[in-house]
Structure 1
Amino acid sequence: MDTIQDLYARETSGPKYRALASAIRQAVTGGAMAPGDRLPPVRDLAWRLQITPGTVARAYTILTDEGALVAEVGRGTFVAAAAEPTRPLTGIEVDAVRHNQGGDTHEVNLVSPHLPDVGQVALIRALLAQIAQDPPSGVMHYPGHASGRAARQAVVGYLADTMLARLDAEDIVLAHGAQNAVMMVMQAVLTGRRPVVLVEELAYPGYRRAADLLRADVVPVPMDAHGVIPEALEAIARQHQAQLLCLSAEVQNPLLMAMPTERREAVAEIARRTDLQIVEDDCYRIGPPSGPSFRALAPERGWYVASISKRLTPALRFGFAVAPEGRAAALRRTAEGGFFGLATPITDLAAALLTHPRLPALQQALRETVADHVRAIVNALGRYDLKWREDALYVWLNLPPGWRASAFARAAEAQGVQIRTAEDYADRNANTPHAVRIAVNAGVSRRSFDAALDRLRHLLDNPPERIAV
């Protein structure tokens, strides 16, 4: 313990948990601690160094993740056995490590999620190579509904755990990501010179962008802790003769809530009474669903939209829309009139990827890595008013007194961290909360990610003396 204390005293910069981790690492590499030596109990070392037990536990966790220490339940934490010499990595292996770990960087973008590479990169490369040798759909004809059949059948299997009622490949229309799918649904549904689209009070900004492009008016619907308020929804739908309601029932963006089944049933019934169509965006769900989709609750008016952007990779721009019963033809016409269909190499790749036997294991590994990053955010910022889920790719932070959202975002950007404010999700004239959304970024090293969170915590701990404007 004396050696660790002496080395820790020499660490004069950075967070305390990193300083302690560095001191222990030096004690091990310098020979002061040998393989098999037991580390002091967390509380004992915390008392000796006059730091919190949580700081010691975090340092131990870092070194355990590195393989320098080994934690044994009921016995304690020990210096790990020396590793056997390893051969040099090949170029392909080095590239894989870079994809998995990311690089160290001061600039960390927490605006949109960046997925971890848990093996999907290597799988996509291998499948691309196979398709390049013998493309199942060929490369010399226009794409269309028929050429995407294998991919649509793969989507049916991919959505097997989603409560969508009866689902057939003919109900699915492929899109260039979920935003394109939302746009297609709007084109298939909206009529008249100035149609009205309803959205949640705080909602995915892509709904507004799509509606603006189609010259539709957007009207927000008040929310409570369970989602849109049924009474407000019915009143606003009737007042504006609205045609479409856009929402996210599983992982609401940005507030993270999952709409209870009872609320979904109430919304579906109101949609019937007011002749509303419903488009449900299920892009952010990476785990099992918590309830039935609106397509199951209202099969005559429920449109379902999703993609692989938040579950595998956004690079392929592979998304899809599932039409209500009897409405697939209108959706197909929208796609064919807009872009004929997805490029056949992409649909061939999607068909192979979504049916690959490794896919379930990859998705489980992705969920575990995302959960680990979310826990890091909670560890860093959990003393504040934070909404989070381990199965979501972002958290929602209500700022403490002294911070306005815009000022906090500017201060964070000055520290090399980019985030999104509540204003991005609200109507232009809304009175928005002083809150920000912070996304998981597994594309940078864990060191950089944790350091970015430390900078955000420092800002939260030290608000300006007066409220910034």
Structure 2
Amino acid sequence: MTIWNTELNTGNKAQALASLIADAIANGELQAGEKLPTQRALAEQLQLGIGTITRALALAEQQGHIQCKVGSGCYVKAQNQRQWGEDEQPDSLGMWQNLAVDQDRASPLLELFQLYQHNPAQLNQLLNDETAQGALFQRQILAEWLDQPSMRAEQLFFCYGGQHGLQTALLASGLAGQSLMCEELCYPGLSNLARQLNIKLKPVKLDEQGLCPDSLEAVLQHNSCRHLYLTPNQQNPTASTMSLERREQIVELAQRYQLTVIEDDVSSPLAQSPATLQNLLPEQVIYLNSFSKGVFRGLRFGYLHVPQAMIQEFTRSIRANAWLVSPLLIDLACQWIKQGHAEHALAQQANQLKQRAALLHHYLKGFDYRYQEGGLHCWLQLPSGWSSNSFAEAAKQQGLELASAEHFSVSGQVPNAIRLSLGQLSDNLALDQALALLRQLLNEGVPNSSDLC
């Protein structure tokens, strides 16, 4: 490729190299999904310093031309692809964001506000709480509602939703600048945090049940890493759920290699889990969940249950990144539980997801997909000839936004699959329209490359 033979002897060399990369992508010399040479190889071929190469790749990533994955390398991005975390595009049918089904929260929330109005002294006392862990009585309310014998109020922490909880867990585990094992297809929020905290992600292979024990052990034998992140229920994005036997295999490895496990259970408020890893190995598992996926969308309330030996580290982590979680937010969540709104919201979501799943099964009949009852997302294997990126782009041109597999890939290998989210659209009518467009596109087959320009 001529880009690697170009001399860059004058001006801002990093900026010039970033421009050459952009030009090579625009003229088709570099294709979507293609891996760039390593920084060392580029430095040798272009006779530039590693620092210049690093700045050039960072600039190309900021401009949206490439995506750099910690521990894997830099890859060409599909042009016009949605950046993870961007706001919803107007006038599109969104199935890319894993949101809970929309419900009425205003009416019951206003009732809770009236409780504070009638007892201002209690409200003032509540707002004086300065503990990093939250008041013990609040943690007891949550523990009683969770009804898990291995979860103790003394070991619970509150957080501002699942993403903040994950950040807290990474910092408390001392993972900044270190390595972390995770599923080869993984929640994009972890990749974003890993990039910011300079965490090297070590991908572990997946199968139809989720994380593969054999692959995990192979990674353990070749690396000193002793921390693992995974989602045993409703794996994001593949929608797989581990059997009890698989969970026990993971626990056995965790015990043998003394792993600290971050168990993310955010995606499955309605999942029928055989047993959480936290319940099987409480002294080594950090458990993470939130209200966002069904109990109260938008509240930004989450919680962690941590091993007894890590309580001080989590206290320090909370103090360092937020000082404390708002006592009023915590109390609203607790009142949401006490007044029965949490259970009602979950029951309402279960009913709506049952209806939406029926639409999904109707439109995807005959195609290769995975969906677990009560789940918010589906993993669809694409027909031969499609790539994940080209299908997502073709769908976007029809007004349908999907999450391509590239968003989730940690290893750099991008399967020909997409994730479909059932909760993002406002109602069943919009979902019916989106799924009809999806099936039409699947049936039409692969268009000419010029049709996607």
TM over 0.5: yes
Q: Is the 8 A contact 1:137 1:344 kept in 2?
A: no
Counterparts of 2:363 and 2:264, CA distance in 1: 30
One-letter code of the match for 1:166?
S
Q: Give how far 1:279 is off.
A: 0.5
Give the structure 1 partner of residue 306 of structure 2: 323
Structure 1, 201-210 or 452-461: larger mean CA deviation? 201-210
1:177 equivalenced with 2:164 (yes/no): no
The number of equivalent residue pairs is: 360
**Distance in 1 (alpha carbons) for counterparts of 2:118 and 2:226:** 47
Change (3 A) 1:207 1:261: same
**Structure 1 residue 117: deviation in Å?**
4.2
Structure 1: gaps spanning 5 or more residues:
1-104
The Cα of 1:366 is off from its aligned counterpart by 1.2
Structure-to-structure mapping, 1:371-390, within 5 angstroms: 371-390=354-373
Question: Which string of whole-angstrom CA distances, capped at 9 and with x for unpartnered residues, describes residues 134-180 of structure 1?
Answer: 464427646433654343222212311x5xx4322120111111111
Q: Does the aligned pair in 2 maintain the 1:423–1:432 contact within 8 Å?
A: yes
Aligned with 1:371: secondary structure? helix
Query: Shift in Å at residue 370 of structure 1?
Result: 1.1
Give 1:466 shift: 4.7
Structure 1 counterpart SS, 2:239: coil
Deviation by residue 1:50-82 (Cα, 9 ceiling, x = unmatched): xxxxxxxxxxxxxxxxxxxxxxxxxxxxxxxxx
User: Which of residues 320, 334, 343 is equivalent to 1:360?
Assistant: 343
Paired position in structure 2 for 1:452: 434
Tell me the CA shift for residue 200 of structure 1.
0.7
Deviations 1:369-406 (A, max 9, x none): 11211211121122211111231011111111232111
2:417 is equivalent to residue 430 of structure 1: no
Match of 2:210 in 1: 227
Counterpart of 1:110 in structure 2 is: 95
Aligned alpha-carbon RMSD (Å): 2.3
Q: Give the AA of the match of 1:110.
A: M
Report the counterpart of residue 25 of structure 2 in structure 1.
none
Aligned residue for 2:261?
278
Look up the match of 1:130. 115
1:247-326 map, 5 Å: 247-326=230-309
Instruction: Give, in angstroms, the shift of residue 238 of structure 1.
Output: 3.0
| d(CA) in 2 for partners of 1:272, 1:441 | 37
Deviations 1:192-223 (A, max 9, x none): x7411000111112222222222211010012
Preserved contact between residue 114 and residue 441 of structure 1 (Cα < 8 Å): yes
Q: 1:159 aligns with which of 121, 146, 149?
A: 146
Three-state SS of the structure 1 residue aligned to 2:100 is coil
Distance in 1 of aligned mates of 2:378 and 2:116: 38
Q: Distance in 2 between matches of 1:458 and 1:134?
A: 57
Aligned in 2, Cα 1:151/1:412: closer, same or farther, shift over 3 Å? farther
Task: Give 1:106 shift.
Answer: 5.1
Range 271-280 or range 391-400, more displaced:
271-280
Q: Which has the larger radius of gyration?
A: 1
What amino acid does structure 2 have at the position aligned with 1:277? T
The whole-number CA distance in structure 2 between the counterparts of 1:110 and 1:342 is 31
CA contact (8 A) 1:137 1:147 kept: no
- 1:393-404 maps to which residues of 2 (within 5 A)? 393-404=376-387
Q: Percent identity?
A: 25
Q: Are residues 134 and 110 of structure 1, via their aligned partners in 2, closer, same or farther at CA, if it must alter by over 3 Å?
A: farther
Matches of 2:280 and 2:133, distance apart in 1: 29
Report the Cα offset of residue 344 of structure 1: 2.1
288 and 419 in structure 1: CA distance in 2 versus 1, 3 angstrom threshold: closer
Distance 1:402 1:463 in 2: 8
The answer to which of 131-140 and 207-216 deviates more is 131-140
- Report the secondary structure of 2:308's partner residue: coil
1:145 aligns with 2:145: no
With 200-209 and 116-125 compared, the bigger mean Cα shift is at 116-125
Instruction: Provide the residue aligned with 1:341 in structure 2.
Output: 324
Q: Could you tell me how far 1:118 is from its partner in structure 2?
A: 4.5
SS at match of 1:396: strand
Q: Please tell me the residue identity of whatever aligns with 1:395.
A: C
- Which stretch has the larger CA shift, 112-121 or 224-233? 112-121
Output the CA distance in 2 between the equivalents of 1:419 and 1:133. 47
CA change 1:358–1:206 in 2 (3 A) is closer
Q: Which runs of 5+ in 2 are unaligned?
A: 1-89
CA distance in 1, matches of 2:135, 2:210: 35
Counterpart of 1:316, as a letter, is L
- Cα 1:420–1:270 shift into 2, 3 Å: same
- Cα distance in structure 2, aligned partners of 1:250 and 1:456: 26
